Chain A
Amino acid sequence: MTTLSFPIIRRPMHPTGVWSWITTIDHKRIGILYGVTAFALFILGGIEALLIRTQLIGPDRDFVSAEVFNQLFTMHGTTMIFLAIMPLGAAFFNFVIPLQIGARDVAFPRLNAFSYWTFLAGAIILNASWFLGGAPNAGWFGYAPITGQAFNPGHGIDFWIIGLQVLGIASLAAAFNFIVTIINMRAPGMTWMRLPLFTWMTFITAILLVLAFPVITVALIELMFDRKFGTNFFFTPAGGNPVLWQHLFWVFGHPEVYILILPAMGIVSEVLPTFSKKPLFGYPTVVLAGALIGFMGWMVWSHHMFTVGLGPIANSVFTITTMAIAVPTGIKIFNWLGTIWKGSLDFRTPMLFALGFIVLFTIGGISGVMHSMASSDAQQQDTYFIIAHIHYVLFSGAIMAIMAGIYYWFPKFSGRMYDERMGKMHFVLMFIGQNLAFFPMHFYGLDGMPRRIYTYDADMGWTALNALSTSGAYLIAFSFFIFIFNMVKSWRKGEKAANDPWDGRTLEWSIPSPPPEHNFDEIPTVHDRDDWWARKRGGVKHGVPVSGGSGEGHAIHMPQPSFWPIVVSIGLLVGAFGLIYNVAVAGIGGGIAMVGIYAWAFEPVNEPDEKQPAHH
């Protein structure tokens, strides 16, 4: 093996410092990188939202120009979906799942690092457009033919196409990694029906990712060909059909919605039992409902296209399939209520966010059923009513659950406790803020305000409610100042966290906070669903407690850090700019990536010249 290892650069061995983070392949560190980066991008998307809301605070405002407004809402949607909610989910997959299934790391640690760096490259590409002639301006859905060269000659759309392709590579790599990890690396005894709910939902999400991303990849390649090489998949003068784009986009786009919400449902399904001291009500049903949502998510895409003119038969079919998806969603909500019913409810911050999720996600679910009805949806499609719906589902749903998850696992990943008072303040302000911002949107939507308009007239009667929405948006922003302050302060000087501060139920609470690099001194044997809880309550006779670092960790064989994942990602970044500006540069980027892949392929897990510690 020695002869095959790539000899140019010495293998990085720094245990601390910047280089240790750049070359890390530890799932916990990658999880933190994902979380911090995605949160920063969430703030960026939030600033875009505040600029949009400031423009709409009253009629006929010219705080930003029409063109900038269009760029802002395009980037707000793209950022929140691809650069904030998805990678925040990925942060949890990375940090939590190996711990929940009793594994030392993910199946492919270097691929995991590659996913993160490639995600960062995609984020850089998309946002670089702001400084290079203007951001994409055709909406996050990029409907043809307005994305065509004829209507959009600048590079904004090219940044959007290439950025999404690069993000797709990152997501696919991560999804395969998690599918393999969850199938192969579960601790002995952790059968599928003992798998923690969050891990289950992540598994379904990863499968959806693997199936959905190829569709958008194909659509984006066709769009790129239309723009660069004059093909006519979507552009009409030579007979292309713009409706084809809508089908491809939503065949990806609807499963994508479940990619965003299923991990959130998984987080809530962990938090509610812990703070109720009760097992999840109807575990098999909740798992099955999640799988059904994932499956049925493929049959409903045309409900985004009820006004496209597909005809009454198609609209009726998609009305029925969409209504049907409300059934498994309802099952989940009722099972969560069953979980807290007769529990011993402790209203810590994560619990408040999880309960808030149930209330507000229910509103989003109900407005979702309203949209499923194609006939009345003709009045709601493309209005602020839809904006209200997506924000109740993705902000009051996904982001609330992600906040629950951040507070819930904060002691585990930081080793410290957050400030409970500030956490509750964050919850109360954010809860009020989002209802002020999003609830009125239902009404001015039904009062005829279309979405994606940069201005409106005073006589339309939308002024008061728009002002209310804007004030709600500012309140949400303020609540996040408290959150950031709490996180920074607590991470630096918070009270030291115990291994198991919440009396948790799953394996991650059986090991120290923060966990040692190798996670488990000894891979646990699982005897029960909620195995750790069962051990603590003495329900299982054979269980051996696995808590506490025994100091033997150094004897465990762990893979070493690597430069090559980030090298490949840099190659993709360079290549992406090349595809936008200059094909020769794309070749250079491809070359860097190839060198990286080659070196990576022949790099041993551990350097043979290092002293090889004994296997455990």
Chain B
Amino acid sequence: MSKFRHRSLHLLGVLLTGLLFTLLAACSKANPQSTFDTLGPVSRNQATILYVIAGVGTFVFILVFGILAYTVIRYRRRSPDDPDPPQIHGNDKLEVAWTIAPAIVLIAVAVPTLQGIFYAANPPTEARLTVEATGHQWWFEFKYPELGVVTANEMHIPEDEAVIVELRSVDVNHSFWVPKLAGKVDMIPNNENRLWLQADESGMYYGQCAEFCGESHAKMRFRVVVEPRAEFDAWVARQQAAAAVPGDPLAKEGHDLFMSNQARCFACHTIAGTQKARGTVGPNLTHFASRQHLAAGNLENTQENLRMWLEDPDAVKPGNLMSRDAAVYNGQGEPLTEPQISALVAFLRSLE
């Protein structure tokens, strides 16, 4: 029996070591949503607190496991005839000690935690830019009220500046989370929340809805594009302009289809500068072609992907409202033909 025990302990050791290495290897900062790769002051503060408590926790675990392992080896019953051990009922001093010691440790780690709570809750006074982020099933809408810009699924912010994000929802609960920049805050209908974040470096940051919000919760993703102030200003200027008027005949055909009573795209989508397309149920498409992703951060914004999306949106984002409600998709109207899809693709790709 003891041979069995030793062999299984050995095996367990090998397995646990292997597991640890796999974990460390897999936990790379290169992962796009790693909370270890802290690229902003808020996420950095949160990670520091995690490291403190993880250190304390590892110490406590080693202590408990060490005592247990020692006891298990030292005090195992060697023979069935072993005499009864001493009948110890307790020890007041020890019990007081292991009540007070953890309490003191907890008070010590509570201090940076509470500081962190207030740090994340109160944006710095120099924050100039406010973005209104609204959760929809299953995409994110971003409005810049002071700048008159509305976009979807890609939030642009300037590098090294604190940004306030106001969080809302039009339907169910969602949660706004860019792991490398800041911890999440929920978007709840009839409740206004906000957070602040700041990015050290330019680049493309991954974000994802973190509160279960229905069938395609897993597909509700977005990106934060961080760029130097000058580039950000240039982006704003482009977004403020009205939509491009299609010149190419195919794009023109797509435009007409968009506004037609067959496709009825205009009913849900806005294209600024047109009279007809002013819907707000779906994403604003005024500068659709300037975005790097489509379908809530799920696909790169390429011609093939756009075509795939328009052919069968339900295959990309199951249960989405366009598949459910648009007559061209839900079987209540005439479906789009291949040439019609080509025309829509050309039109949408002209919306620089």
Contacts and interface: CB of A to CB of B under 8 A. Distances in A.
Contacts of A451: 212
A308 B25 CA distance: 33
A366 B115 CA distance: 21
Contact of B182 (A239, A241, A362, A378): A378
Interface in B45-59: 45-47, 49-50, 53-54, 57
Interface in A437-492: 439-440, 443-444, 446-456, 459-462, 464-465, 468
Contact of B75 (A285, A340, A448): A340
B318 A66 contact: yes
A290 interface: no
Contacts of A379: 35, 43, 46-47, 50, 179, 183-184
Contacts of B253: none
Interface in A233-269: 236, 239-243
A456 B218 contact: yes
Interface string B172-185: 11010101001111
Contact of B12 (A432, A449, A537): A432
Contacts of A341: 67, 71, 75, 88
B75 A343 contact: yes
Given A65-B318, A146-B172, A358-B68, A455 B12 contact: no
A465 B23 contact: yes
Nearest to A238: B190
Interface string B100-135: 001100100110011111111110000000000000
B154 interface: no
Given A278-B88, A449-B33, A464-B26, A366 B43 contact: no
Contacts of A380: 50
A389 to B, nearest CB: 12
Interface string A387-406: 00000000000000000000
B184 A307 contact: yes
B13 to A, nearest CB: 11
Contacts of A460: 31-33
Interface string A368-386: 0110011111111111000
Contact of B64 (A309, A337, A347, A376): A337
A428 B8 contact: yes
Contacts of A281: 88-91
B216 to A, nearest CB: 6
A277 interface: yes
B95 A285 contact: yes
Contacts of A131: none
Interface string B67-99: 110011001110000111111111100110011
Interface stretch (B203-211, B222-230, B241-249, B261-269): B203-211
Contacts of B167: 309
B72 A355 contact: yes
Contacts of A359: 64-65, 68
A82 B326 CA distance: 40
A506 interface: no
A455 to B, nearest CB: 5
B88 A66 contact: no
Nearest to B113: A373
B47 A327 contact: no
Contact of B26 (A67, A315, A316, A444): A444
A312 B212 contact: no
Nearest to A537: B84
B234 interface: no
Interface stretch (A33-41, A157-165, A317-325): A317-325
Contacts of A331: 95, 98-99
A320 B110 contact: yes
Given A285-B90, A309-B193, A461-B26, A375 B113 contact: yes
B85 to A, nearest CB: 5
B32 A459 contact: yes
A66 B216 contact: yes
Contacts of A345: 71-72, 75-77
Nearest to B34: A447
A149 to B, nearest CB: 13
Nearest to A309: B193
B54 to A, nearest CB: 7
Interface residues of A, number: 103
A51 interface: no
A339 B50 CA distance: 32
A369 B106 contact: yes
B22 interface: yes
Contact of A312 (B47, B87, B117, B190): B117
B48 to A, nearest CB: 8
Contact of B85 (A338, A342, A366): A342
A130 interface: no
Interface string A288-322: 00000000000000000001110110011001100
B95 A335 contact: yes
B319 interface: yes
Contact of B35 (A137, A315, A344, A448): A448
B32 A382 contact: no
A339 to B, nearest CB: 9
B188 A308 contact: yes
A346 B213 contact: no
Contacts of A139: 212
Contact of A370 (B54, B88, B90): B54
A468 B173 contact: no
B138 to A, nearest CB: 10
A585 interface: no
A143 interface: yes
Contacts of A373: 49, 53, 109-110, 113, 116
A277 B78 CA distance: 13
B291 interface: no
A370 B218 contact: no
B184 A146 contact: no
Given A143-B173, A447-B35, A454 B218 contact: yes
A276 interface: yes
Contacts of A315: 117, 121
Interface of A: 65-67, 70, 137-139, 143, 145-146, 151, 236, 239-243, 276-279, 281-285, 307-309, 311-312, 315-316, 319-320, 323-324, 326-327, 330-331, 333-335, 337-338, 340-347, 355, 358-359, 362-363, 366-367, 369-370, 373-383, 424, 428, 431-432, 435-436, 439-440, 443-444, 446-456, 459-462, 464-465, 468, 537
Interface of B: 4-5, 8, 12, 15-16, 19, 22-23, 25-28, 30-36, 43, 45-47, 49-50, 53-54, 57, 60-61, 64-65, 67-68, 71-72, 75-77, 82-91, 94-95, 98-99, 102-103, 106, 109-110, 113-122, 137, 167, 171-173, 175, 177, 179, 182-186, 188-191, 193-194, 206, 208-219, 318-319
21 contacts: A66-B318, A239-B190, A278-B86, A282-B89, A308-B188, A308-B193, A309-B191, A319-B117, A334-B98, A342-B75, A343-B75, A358-B64, A363-B61, A373-B109, A375-B113, A375-B115, A378-B120, A383-B210, A435-B16, A446-B34, A460-B32
Given A312-B117, A376-B116, 13 more contacts: A70-B214, A145-B171, A242-B189, A316-B114, A323-B109, A337-B68, A338-B88, A347-B5, A359-B64, A376-B53, A432-B12, A443-B27, A448-B34
Ordered nearest first, which 3 A-B pairs have the shortest CB separation?
A378-B183, A448-B33, A375-B116
